[in-house]
Amino acid sequence: MIDGQTFLRDATANDAVNFEHVRMAEALLFAAEEPLDQATFVSRLPEGADIPAVINALEAHYAVRGVNLVSTGGRWSLRTSPDLAPILRREREEQKKLSRAALETLAIIAYHQPVTRAEIEGIRGVSVAKGTLEVLLETDWVRLRGRRKTPGRPVTFGTTKEFLDHFGLETIGDLPGVDELKAAGLLDSRLPDGLDVPMPSDDPTLREDEDELEAGDLDFLTPLDAESTAENADMSEPPIGSPVDPEGHEADEDEPDQAAPESPGDSGDEGPK
User: For 191-204, how does the pLDDT look when each residue is reduced to its tens digit (9 = 90+)?
Assistant: 566 666 677 888 88
Please give the pLDDT value at position 193. Answer: 63
Residue ranges, CATH 1.10.10.10, the chain: 7-88, 100-234
Calpha distance 59→50 (Å, rounded):
14
What is the predicted pLDDT for the residue at 191? 59
**CATH number, domain 7-88, options 3.90.1140.10, 1.10.10.10, 3.40.50.720, 3.40.640.10:** 1.10.10.10
- Per-10-residue mean pLDDT of the chain, 273 residues long, equals 52 68 94 93 93 93 93 91 89 79 91 91 87 90 91 91 88 82 67 67 85 71 46 42 40 44 45 40
Contact 117, 105 (CB under 8 A): no
- 160 CB-side CA count, 13 A: 11
Q: Encode pLDDT of 220-252 as tens digits.
A: 544 444 444 444 444 434 443 434 343 344 445
Residue 178's pLDDT is: 72
- For the domain spanning 100-234, the CATH number is 1.10.10.10
CA distance 256 to 99: 6
Quote the crossing angle between the two packed helices 100-112 and 130-138, to the nearest 10°. 70
Give me the DSSP letters along the chain.
---HHHHHHHHHHTTT--HHHHHHHHHHHHH-SS-EEHHHHHHHSPTT--HHHHHHHHHHHHTTSSEEEEEETTEEEEEE-GGGHHHH----PPP-PPPHHHHHHHHHHHHH-SEEHHHHHHHHSSPPPHHHHHHHHHTTSEEEEEEESSTT--EEEEE-HHHHHHHT-SSGGGS--HHHHHHTT-S-SSPPTT----------SPPTTEE---TTTTS-HHHHHHHHHHHHHH-SSPPTT----TT-----TTS---S--S-TT--SS----
- What confidence score (pLDDT) does residue 187 get? 65
Q: Which amino acid is at 35?
A: P
The answer to whether the predicted template modeling score (pTM) of the entire model surpasses 0.85 is: no
* pLDDT on residue 189: 60
